[in-house]
A and B are shown apart, each in its own frame.
Chain A
Amino acid sequence: MNVPEFPTRVGSGEFGQAIWDPEAETPSGLTGPDGLTAPKRFSVYRNNVIVSLSEALEQTFPAIRNLLGEDYFKALARAFVVRHPPTSPVLLWYGAEFAGFIEAFPPLEAYPYLADVARVEWAWLQSYHAADAAPMDPAALGSVDPEALGTVRFEKHPATDMVVSRWPVWDLMRVNRFEPDAEIDVDLEASQSVLITRPDYDVNLLLLRPGGDVFLNALLSGAMLGEAAASAQAQVEEFSLSDCLSDCLSNGAFKDLVTA
């Protein structure tokens, strides 16, 4: 081997710094076959990193991609990737900060619903990869003493989550991800909160009924059934306990019934 007498050493720190900064000079000490520094060669690595991470985001946030269009999404993803590079080699977990980044991104100020759509897509991904578990059998409630019904609690299923939003996130998700051909008029004045469940392998996205967000939020925080119903009733007049509870049970939102 031809080793220069005083080679320039390049550590991972310097290499990595030059990956994130497109204006950075190629570290000298990295060369082509002629022994000269080779910026175009180095840019292959820069490009691999930025593009592969942007593509990972695109897979996780397809509705955001559709709402923004391909070019805008790519630019946004690039900005995000540089500021929030992954901290784990498991990219299934990459993008937790994307919704917050969108929310604080000044050029997207006029589209305040985007961040909540991203929150739903992130919750959908968490549900998709959550631990397998058999959901609670809805019939289990029938064996509870009617007098004690108000005191039962529910253990959350590992794949269950909810997103409370003042924006029509359910319709936006349908139009931009799950039902692209459906004719849905999205009313940006509407507030929609959604329940995400995965009783077996398919992730379900369900529009919560009026008061369902308050009710389910209370149950998932460990409140007793009676307390959760009372607080939903107090805040939302049209709240229907039987309908909301039935939605939760039939979609496998809970893993177990916990009696006092």
Chain B
Amino acid sequence: MPSHSTEPTRIDAAVPARAGAGLKADHVQDVLDTGADIGFFEVHAENYMGAGGVPHRQLEAIRERYPLSLHGVGLSIGGEQPLDKSHLQRLADLNRRYEPGLFSEHLAWSTHDTTYFNDLLPVPYDKATLDRVCDHIDEVQEKVGRKMLLENPSTYVAFEQSTMSELDFLKEITRRTGCGLLLDVNNVHVSSTNHARSAIEYLQDFPMDRVGEIHLGGHAPDVDDAGRPLLIDAHDREVDDAVWALYETVVERNGPVPTLIEWDNDVPAWPVLLAEAQAADRILSQESGAGFKRAV
């Protein structure tokens, strides 16, 4: 067997303050054949929880050549019930196996009782939820043995029972748990539009010193029950101009941060995704002078 027979030689794990792309199985051959010049790749952890075969072979080949970010989508950190211990173990195992430079999950829930919903469902911003989320993050960081980044959500409804703003909620989580934040600028634009808030003000108040990674992705426009704009976090197209503009202000103010282009549905050919990453790289390099700084 070609795999595991020798200890693979891997590039350094640290993710640079450059642009990366979400890894798609259909792109792996193109990436390897062309030796694509890109800062890092990010994968959804759950896609690599099988025992063996092509997915692991591809991921190992990528990991040998590029830094990796491991992004969980199914842990249900915002869930009302205790974390799924076997799932947490799988996440810890993947962290050990691939030594990603970044590890992140979501402020959302996706499991209730024994049912998994396969979507990032919203949580109320109240004290009971805050306590639970903090306990869960403590548990994750202890089990995995490293700091995680928590991603701000895209939401379509607000909870009447919320007693805090999303920002205060996130700030309190990082303060209590020491976790970092994954700032999804598309999510900021989507949620701000959906809840008639100012994205600019949200970003001005965002605890940038906690941000270890940025996400950019495409969204789909729709309208809500009252005919107001409703944006859907679809990851099915190019990054919107409004999101690029917000991103530029973030980078201008705070300097370069590893930045991921997410494109998960209607996935284009590799050169199209690479071009999006290059667009982010141009913005990052304007702010970092001659060279790219390393992420913390």
Contacts and interface: CB of A to CB of B under 8 A. Distances in A.
Contacts of B254: none
B53 A87 contact: no
A38 B115 CA distance: 24
Contacts of A36: 225-226
B115 A16 contact: yes
A182 interface: no
A83 to B, nearest CB: 12
A119 interface: no
B225 A87 contact: no
Interface stretch (B42-50, B62-70, B180-188, B276-284): B42-50
Contact of A8 (B110, B113, B160, B164): B160
Contact of B4 (A19, A40, A42, A132): A132
A92 B118 contact: no
A53 B60 CA distance: 27
A19 B232 CA distance: 17
B20 to A, nearest CB: 23
A130 interface: yes
Interface stretch (A44-52, A63-71, A210-218, A236-244): A44-52
Contact of B158 (A13, A32, A128, A131): A32
B51 interface: yes
A7 B161 contact: yes
B124 interface: yes
Contact-size category for B: 35 or more
A123 to B, nearest CB: 14
Contact-size category for A: 35 or more
A31 interface: yes
Interface stretch (B73-81, B96-104, B243-251): B73-81
Given A38-B157, A129-B55, A91 B46 contact: yes
Contact of A56 (B2, B87, B118, B230): B118
Contacts of A33: 158, 194-196, 228
B210 to A, nearest CB: 22
Which among B52, B74, B165, B230 has the highest number of chain A CB atoms within 10 Å?
B52
A133 interface: yes
Interface string B143-160: 000000000000011111
Given A45-B121, A89-B76, 4 more contacts: A8-B160, A10-B159, A32-B195, A52-B118
Interface of B: 1-4, 46-47, 49-57, 73-76, 79-80, 84, 87, 90, 109-119, 121, 124, 156-165, 194-196, 222, 224-226, 228, 230, 232
15 contacts: A9-B161, A12-B80, A12-B109, A29-B161, A30-B158, A35-B160, A42-B156, A85-B115, A85-B117, A89-B84, A89-B118, A90-B46, A132-B52, A159-B53, A198-B53
